[in-house]
Structure 1
Amino acid sequence: MARDITLREALELQEKHSHTLVDVRSPKEFKEATIPGSMNIPIFTNEERAEVGMLYKQVGKQAAMDHGLVIFSKKLPEFIAEFRKIDTPITVFCWRGGMRSKTAATVLELMGIRSSRISGGIHTYRQRVIARLQETIKPKLLVLNGYTGSGKTKILHKLMEDGYPVIDLEGMAGHRGSIFGQIGVEPNNQKKFELLLANKLERYENEPYIFIEGESKRIGQVHMPELLFEKKGQSPQWIIQLPFEVRVKEILSVYEPEKQPDLFLEAFTRIRKRIHQPIAVQIQKDLENGRFTEAVEQLLTHYYDPQYEHSVARFATIGQDVIQAATIQEAYEKCLKRYKELMK
């Protein structure tokens, strides 16, 4: 018989041993938030889960259970086959450690596949995340700031690739942090953002410093926890300064407006009223006619740069370290050099 284990036990098995955590909830639930490092082998598809849930509300628990059994029994061979591909010990979980994970563990046991089950399900992990985000953040933050297009995200990614402690807020949010930030990326909801963030904070809790970008409190559809936002605002800022033309090229390279011009036009309409009318008209014409370099130049000059200059004024009493560079690579190298000096 499958045994129940605590979330702590499951995470320790995952970290210290060869062990696989399997989320048996629907693909939609898995996508919205799961325990990091888990895989998804769902009992029900998104549509089947909705169907069973509707029956539960309209008829009752027993009718929903009976219908769920009919659905699941038809896919048992496929379900078991997916678990047979796993060559490590297995722990399954659902939302609260209820019917779905119990069914999965029971069926696996009958088919000779040993497994355990997380008591309380992913709900216990959600509680852990909430508690973690309310704790004091021990490491100091090194905040990369600078005008739009200064390559801050690329610098963070390069630092992360090279093994340095980085919290990529935009990556966790699934948003690049500007009015055009949703184009070409898939957004995460607040639960998943917090889950990813808590996981990083726990991972880096014994580091002296963590690199982070100077984001606003709201990033796309999500917002930073209060403690992190306050600490970020009180931390010294490393201001990346690149030539204007380099910034324009960087924005064009990242966003590739020529591939989805309609989306850029649509996004521009949301800020058009904040820009002086003759200039706004010209930017729209440039976007409509594929003159993206000209449009970006005008957006930086008349919208993004003034916004940044207004926001950066509050850092005057905190401490700023200006990093001037001709390229993003040079800026990265200067950031890394200063970090190593701090670590001496």
Structure 2
Amino acid sequence: MTQRPDTDDYAAILLADSPLIDTRAPIEYAKGGLPNSINLPLMSDEEREKVGTCYKQQGQQKAIELGHQLVSGELKQQRVKAWTDFAQRHPEGYIYCFRGGLRSNTSRQWMRDVGVDYPLIKGGYKAVRRYLIDLIDQQAAEHPWLILSGRTGTGKTRVLDRIEACIDLEGLANHRGSSFGRRVKPQPTQIDFENALGVAMLKKLQQDQGPWMLEDESRLIGRLSLPLSLHEAMGQAPIVVLEEPMALRIEQVRADYVEDLCAEYVSHYGEQAGFQSYADYMLQSLHRVRKRLGLERHEQIRALMQQALDQHRQHQDISLHDQWIEAMLSQYYDPMYDYQLSKKQERVLFRGNQQQVIDWFADYRRQHS
């Protein structure tokens, strides 16, 4: 393998989607890692804890000696083989630990001992993480943003799917952003979400410097928080309002939250268990907003949803879902949205349907790029 230098060119690593070895302990990696990384730890969680205790009580040298005792013999050979196998498969990659210090240097030296020279990321995970957070804060403050708003079901995500100059926050968060927005696969960790957001901004900057569109979001998308700097910038940016008739909105909500979401559950859990899990999730999601709905209205809409789910299960007929969808839109989501938008009227630049918004945004970018 041709020797390559260590690097602190974090942008180049992230733009190239470079394969990465993360040598931190599993408990550290579970909280968040770098994109395109795999956790091949130098030490297990238990081994790391023992070394850390030794370091506090007896100092660095004794901790290093203990680490070499714990990771030796066949165990050491197994870990070195995992790193070298990865390096052979991904000769363009890098290795890192938390600060680019002892763990990654030890791992790299052990790889060298068996004839494989693999470069480090200087500064390690901490430095790349700092780079991404700074990038988000800088772009939040400096980049021209447009916020795509609109009532539930107008198809905001569909508009974003048709334009290049956007960042799909809900896609990165793996959540649709509503009370019913959780997907079958779990959301990323907060750190992984922020890292992915930083990389998305970095890649978008390579394509254009013009205005980008974001969907109007609260601070929370599911259980994930938008970075404060970005959320504050979104609260000041100009707004484009997407408007569509109720019939189309019902159709689009049915497609997203009935057809597609049910299919996700069935694909993941199987036919019967998947549908039952989907039905349970929908009823639970409705239950979580019962106080804001009002208990009487909640019971009425719950009855409609239960009827729709029963007909869906028994006859593969999804038509009854339209009743509870319309009730939720007109009695819950619309009043809430209209109130929120009433406080932002001075920021609204344009209103229109999906195609009109797409066409208007293209003209706006030509004028402001």
TM-score normalised over the length of structure 2:
0.78
Equivalents in 1 of 2:202, 2:231: separation in Å? 17
Asked if the contact 1:95/1:121 (under 8 Å) is kept, the reply is: yes
Counterparts of 1:230-269 in structure 2 under 5 Å?
Answer: 230-256=232-258, 258=262, 259=275, 260-269=278-287
Match of 2:76 in 1: 72
Of the three residues 139, 142, 147, the one matched with 2:146 is 142
1:24-81: CA deviations, max 9, x gaps?
A: 3456655643333x3315136xxx7222234335666344542233533334434422
Deviates more, 1:126-135 or 1:150-159: 126-135
Q: Which residue of 2 aligns with 1:308?
A: 337
Q: CA deviation at 1:152?
A: 0.8
Runs of 5+ consecutive residues of structure 1 not aligned to the other structure: 325-330
CA contact (8 A) 2:149 2:156 kept: yes
- Corresponding letter in the other structure for 1:305: D
Aligned to 1:328: none
Aligned positions of 1:23-172 closer than 5 A: 23-25=22-24, 29-30=28-29, 32-36=31-35, 38-40=36-38, 42-43=40-41, 49-56=44-51, 61=63, 62-69=65-72, 71-86=75-90, 88-135=91-138, 137-159=141-163, 164-172=164-172
Q: Which has the higher helix share?
A: 2
User: Are the aligned partners of 1:177 and 1:220 in contact in 2 as well (CA < 8 Å)?
Assistant: yes
Offset at residue 132 of structure 1 (A):
2.5
Distance 2:136 2:14 in 1: 22
* CA distance in 2: counterparts of 1:142 and 1:109, whole angstroms: 50
Structure 1 residue aligned with 2:300: 282
Q: Secondary structure at the match of 1:142?
A: strand
Given that residues 2 and 105 in structure 1 are in contact (C-alpha distance below 8 angstroms), is that contact kept between their aligned partners in structure 2?
no
Deviations 1:97-125 (A, max 9, x none): 23432233123222322221122211011
- Rate the CA distance shift 1:172–1:31 in 2: closer, same or farther, 3 A: farther
Name whichever structure is richer in strand by fraction.
1
Partner of 1:327 in structure 2? none
Bigger mean CA offset, 212-221 vs 191-200: 191-200
Could you tell me how far apart the structure 2 residues matched to 1:173 and 1:303 are? Answer: 24
Deviation at 1:286, TM superposition (A): 2.6
Contact 1:43–1:79 (CA under 8 A) maintained in structure 2: no
Name the amino acid aligned to 2:134.
A
The change in CA–CA distance for 1:99 and 1:110 in structure 2 (over 3 A counts) is same
**Structure 1 pair 230–19 and aligned structure 2 pair: CA distance change class (3 A):** closer
The separation in 1 between residues aligned to 2:176 and 2:193, in whole angstroms, is 14
Q: What CA deviation, in whole Å up to 9, does each residue of 1:291-316 have, x standing for no partner? A: 53322222112111111111111221
Which position in structure 1 is the counterpart of 2:316? Answer: none
2:138 is paired with a residue whose SS is coil
Cα deviation per residue 1:4-42 (whole Å; 9 max; x = unaligned)?
73422x5436657x9644333456655643333x33151
**Residue of structure 2 equivalent to 1:338:** 360
Whole-Å separation in 1 of the counterparts to 2:361 and 2:92: 41
Distance (whole Å) between structure 2 residues aligned to residue 170 and residue 27 of structure 1: 27
Identity of aligned residues (%): 23
Q: Aligned partners of 1:155 and 1:95: how far apart in 2? A: 39
Retained in 2: the 8 A contact 1:91–1:116?
Answer: yes
Is the Cα–Cα contact under 8 Å of residues 89 and 114 in structure 1 kept in the other structure? no
Alpha-carbon separation, structure 2, partners of 1:58 and 1:100: 16
| Change in 2 beyond 3 A, CA 1:307/1:252 | same
Q: Is the 8 A contact 2:148 2:156 kept in 1?
A: yes
Q: CA deviation at 1:145?
A: 0.8
Q: Is the 8 A contact 1:23 1:39 kept in 2?
A: yes
CA displacement at 1:167 relative to structure 2: 1.2
Q: Which amino acid aligns with 1:317?
A: E
Deviates more, 1:310-319 or 1:64-73: 64-73
Residue 168 of structure 2 aligns with an amino acid whose one-letter code is D
Unaligned runs of 5+ in 2: 56-62, 263-274, 310-319
